[in-house]
Chain A
Amino acid sequence: MKADLRIPLAVAAALILAAVVAFGAPHVVGDYFVRILLLIALNSILVLSLSLSNGFTGVFSLGHVGFIGAGAYAAGILSLTVQQKKALLPHLPDLLNWFSLPFLPATLAAGLFAAILAVIVGYPLMRLSGYFVSVATMGFLIIVNVVLINASDFTRGARTFTGVPLATSLPWVLGWLAVTLLVLSRLVYSPFGRRMKAVRDDTIAASAVGISVLRARLVAFVIGAFFAGVGGSLYAHYLGSFSPNTFYFAMTMNLIAMLVLGGMGSLSGAIIGVICVSILSEVLRSVERGFTIGDITVPALFGASQIVLGFLFILIMIFRPKGIMGDRELTFGLSGRSANHNQKEGKDR
């Protein structure tokens, strides 16, 4: 039980650190690093929200980006000014075209919209397991994409959705990251979180001890979708303009790679995965432009960063298949729960 107290403590420490970074970083480092920091925090929110279903509940969703996209568009529509709506979305229904929401309410609304969507999608889909749920949720992603492209009264279709105020700043993102981390750590390390993990380990045993598998999965799916919607809004207010294909397979693969790399059953692992992939791709991107050390000149090799990254994923999956953290948490020595030798021997039938 003591471990339950340590996690909020670690989160609080991270919160203070985050606040210092949020307000201090722009004075110390340049815009480039602030931007990377912001993207790391933003992607952390997205990967954390993904970890709830894919990592902790064993529902390997490939449709998560659908909720991010839905949240981004919902927030974008809500926070355009009335004049922009008249110019860019002339056919928007009267219900939506007479007002404009500030950043925070628009973000909350985006989260709620994604969560409601997740209830509707999840109720039939969360009955499925294994590959079936992956394929079915991917179907959801494709439907979202097609709807975004064709509902042009709302989304400008395949054209770029633009004009969203650039409200996303480092303090905002770190603030939302702290909220996400706090809510998820409370959830994952609660009795309900234990049920989620039981469903992940063995659905038959879970229902045999009296857990409603559908409910556990649905709650994880919906809460994950809420934070995906929030992340989508932050993303929309960061980019300012985007199109339906911003929220499609490339982003799906990126988020899943980060999650798997960091460790599927670990909140800190999710963030570590994001940090590793983000920093590595930044470094590799500058390396591939070519460089000179002493007499040796390495020519530009565009695309090499993607290849190196790909190889790295293969190596990690071979030598550390459960990701960097597995299902342990990084709690700065506060809690020593070692859960890395999880070989699933209990399911030998």
Chain B
Amino acid sequence: MATADPLLRVDNLEVNFGAVRALKGVSLDVREGEVIALVGANGAGKSTTLRSISGLARAKSGTVTFAGTVINKRTAPQIVRLGIAHSPEGRRLFGGLSVAENLRLGACTRSDPDGVARDTEKMFVLFPILRERWKQLAGTLSGGEQQQLALARALMAAPRLLLLDEPSLGVAPLLVRHIFDALAELKRQGMTMLLVEQNIALALELADRAYVLRTGKVALSGIASELRVDDRVAQAYLGAAE
């Protein structure tokens, strides 16, 4: 691994939702070209971490630095323009708009029509079903198709860092495999990803490194292949270890 500055550095991030302390000082870093998994039980703060990186949630304290710029005071649209795309939990497609329109909206921060057209072709290679469904309303797609569209929409921003929240949620098992194959292909092409995933086996298989979150703190971190055989990961989920 290169020792250069990481692409993304999250430092001591604290987020409150009313009286609930969702994050109690999360620190992590993502280097260029790495795939990082963020795992942990429900309510551990995984989605909140992603949302405060992409500007959808506001941090109370701590900093998020992306490519040398402190971004945690910026708005979500500004952060997209800096190169972070967020595929949010539950897909959140524009259900009343077609597949084509959803993809065009994914690229709405870009001003290079040729590049957008090229990337659209790339999406057809990665997710062939999107070409078939091109004119169909996003709301009428199946769960797996919607998830592929959500991924493609995020990729259309041509991000330097892709934030993925639960890409396997509500997707038929066969299609989960297909989606993770696509993510592996993206990784091979050098895409930097920060992945939140309930399916810990799949996540650790894809990732280079992983952070295990527990009640708003990083409980454990390390090389993904080592964490796969580490009992403490399961304990963090069950809440047995401290």
Q: Which of A194, A212, A343, A347 contacts B97 (CB 8 A)?
A: A194
B167 contacts partner chain A, Cβ-Cβ < 8 Å: no
Which residues of B in the span 103-147 have a Cβ within 8 Å of any Cβ on A?
Answer: 104-106, 108-109, 137-141, 146
How many A-B residue pairs have C-beta atoms within 8 angstroms? Tell me.
114
Q: Which of B76, B85, B170 contacts A348 (CB 8 A)?
A: B170
Q: Which residues of A contact B98 (CB under 8 A)?
A: 339
* In the complex, per-residue mask of A181-211: 1 if CB is within 8 Å of any chain B CB, else 0: 0000000000100110110111011111111
Number of B residues with CB within 8 Å of any CB on chain A: 38
Q: Which residues of A contact B76 (CB under 8 A)?
A: 207-208, 210
A229 contacts partner chain B, Cβ-Cβ < 8 Å: no
Q: Verify B140–A343 contact, CB threshold 8 A.
A: yes
A193 to B20, CA, bound (A): 38
A284 to B88, CA, bound (A): 51
B153 contacts partner chain A, Cβ-Cβ < 8 Å: yes
A265 contacts partner chain B, Cβ-Cβ < 8 Å: yes
Q: Which residues of A contact B97 (CB under 8 A)?
A: 194, 197-198, 201
Given A194-B101, A210-B81, A345-B139, the answer on whether A201 and B109 have CB atoms closer than 8 Å is no
- Nearest-neighbour CB distance to chain B for A127, whole angstroms, equals 12
Q: Which residues of B contact A2 (CB under 8 A)?
A: none
Q: Which of A195, A209, A339, A349 contacts B96 (CB 8 A)?
A: A339
Q: Verify B95–A345 contact, CB threshold 8 A.
A: yes
Q: Verify B54–A344 contact, CB threshold 8 A.
A: no
* In the complex, per-residue mask of A241-271: 1 if CB is within 8 Å of any chain B CB, else 0: 0000000000000000000000001000000
- Nearest-neighbour CB distance to chain B for A175, whole angstroms, equals 32
Q: Verify A342–B137 contact, CB threshold 8 A.
A: yes
Q: Verify A212–B94 contact, CB threshold 8 A.
A: no
- Nearest-neighbour CB distance to chain A for B158, whole angstroms, equals 11
Number of A residues with CB within 8 Å of any CB on chain B: 29
B89 contacts partner chain A, Cβ-Cβ < 8 Å: yes
Interface-central residue, A205, A265, A341, by most chain B CB under 10 Å: A205
A200 to B95, CA, bound (A): 10
Q: Verify A346–B56 contact, CB threshold 8 A.
A: no
A96 to B146, CA, bound (A): 58
B90 contacts partner chain A, Cβ-Cβ < 8 Å: yes
Given A343-B139, A346-B138, A346-B139, the answer on whether A197 and B96 have CB atoms closer than 8 Å is yes
- Nearest-neighbour CB distance to chain B for A321, whole angstroms, equals 14
B80 contacts partner chain A, Cβ-Cβ < 8 Å: yes
B157 contacts partner chain A, Cβ-Cβ < 8 Å: yes
The closest CB in chain B to the CB of A339 belongs to B137
A201 to B137, CA, bound (A): 12
Q: Verify A342–B95 contact, CB threshold 8 A.
A: yes
Interface-central residue, A195, A341, A345, by most chain B CB under 10 Å: A345
Q: Verify B96–A200 contact, CB threshold 8 A.
A: yes
A327 contacts partner chain B, Cβ-Cβ < 8 Å: yes
The closest CB in chain A to the CB of B104 belongs to A194
A201 to B138, CA, bound (A): 11
A347 to B146, CA, bound (A): 10
- The 4 A-B pairs at the shortest CB distance, nearest first, are namely A349-B90, A346-B95, A210-B80, A346-B93
